[in-house]
Amino acid sequence: MRELVITRHNELVDPILHVWGWEIPVYLFLGGWVAGMMIITGYFLLKGRHVERSCVCSVLPGLSLVMLSLGMFALFLDLEHKLYTWRLYTTFEVASPMSWGAWILVLVYPVLALAALARAPEILRDLFPIVDRAARAVSGSARTVHALGAAAIVMGVLLGIYTGILLSALGARPLWSSALLGPLFLLSGLSSAAAFTHLVAREVGERVLLAKADNVFLGIELFVVALFLIGLLSSSQAHIEAARLLLGGPYTAVFWVFVVLLGIVIPLGIQMLAVTHRIQHTPVAPLMVLGGGLALRFVIVYAGQASRWIG
């Protein structure tokens, strides 16, 4: 029964038999991005900013639903046995990262839908009376909004960490065998979400706040990347060889140029100058952060598949 229910999990346990393409990195990136936007949305809901028309939290939940659905579609394309996907929802396997992810997503969707109702667009409320009634029910109680904000933060953290645990739980690849992948992917998702929100926010105060937050996320992310590499280099020979894929191996240039330099260091410097009013805020830095977040997933997934426990 276990093999029938967790069909996809069995493929992931031995990734040697299933080589991942572009679908998994895109899924991990979109999942982390949505996780970050959920956390930001939850923060604004707790602050009561949803009542302001200009608040960026009015667009984040609806956009998150779309982006997460695209990520799920990318994952679906990668499945070997697509017709059996529904079996993931007939049980819960504690040892299966895919089972955890499936049930986390079951909770993420309604939280995002309710957060979207807290600041539903006026045109939808005018066209559909049921949307208006639901929006009034959600946004009419401060206690409900606060609970929804807390739920959005909790589910965002779980979703963001899960995108890293999905890889670190697979012991067949030494590069992925690190507990830091969960926090690293969560921080990268937060950074991508803060950069995007800074890009689309209409209020100057929100843009400055999110740029400052992104600087913090980028700084911590750079620190975690260093810890990730140090952890590999101070472990077994297989881990050291895996680290060398990024330190002189075939993935070195992509990792250090597109992930570290263009995705973290340069945008961090640009945004630090912007928040200290030395230069104008520019969309260049947020776009670089988003590109770096996507590149990080591709490098970790592809390099991880190239790493081996034996030569």
Higher pLDDT residue, 246 or 207?
A: 246
For residues 114 and 119, give the distance between their C-alpha atoms in angstroms, rounded to a whole number: 9
What pLDDT, on a 0 to 100 scale, did the predictor assign at position 55?
Answer: 82
Q: Examine the pLDDT at 7 and tell me if it is beyond 80.
A: no
Please report which residue ranges of the chain form alpha helices under DSSP H: 2-5, 7-13, 23-46, 60-78, 97-118, 122-127, 129-139, 142-168, 181-200, 204-233, 237-244, 252-253, 266-275, 284-306
Tell me the pLDDT band of 19, cut-offs 50, 70 and 90: low
Tell me the pLDDT band of 18, cut-offs 50, 70 and 90: low
What pLDDT, on a 0 to 100 scale, did the predictor assign at position 14?
Answer: 40
For residues 210 and 275, give the distance between their C-alpha atoms in angstroms, rounded to a whole number: 10
What pLDDT, on a 0 to 100 scale, did the predictor assign at position 164?
Answer: 87
pLDDT digits over 233-267, tens only?
998 999 999 999 999 999 999 999 999 999 999 99
**What is the arithmetic mean of pLDDT over 170-184?**
88
Domain 1-170 part of CATH 3.30.1490.20: no
What does 196-250 look like in DSSP terms, one character per residue?
HHHHH--SHHHHHHHHHHHHHHHHHHHHHHHHHHHHHHTS-HHHHHHHHTTTTST
φ, ψ at 201 (rounded to 5°): -65, 140
Report if pTM > 0.75. yes
Q: Examine the pLDDT at 16 and tell me if it is beyond 60.
A: no
Q: Examine the pLDDT at 26 and tell me if it is beyond 50.
A: yes
For residues 71 and 219, give the distance between their C-alpha atoms in angstroms, rounded to a whole number: 27
Q: Examine the pLDDT at 124 and tell me if it is beyond 80.
A: no
pLDDT digits over 276-301, tens only?
989 888 899 999 999 999 999 999 99
Q: Examine the pLDDT at 28 and tell me if it is beyond 90.
A: yes
pLDDT digits over 74-94, tens only?
988 887 777 777 777 777 777
Q: Examine the pLDDT at 133 and tell me if it is beyond 60.
A: yes
Residues of the chain with pLDDT > 70, as a percent, come to: 92
Cβ-based neighbour number of residue 198 at 10 Å: 25
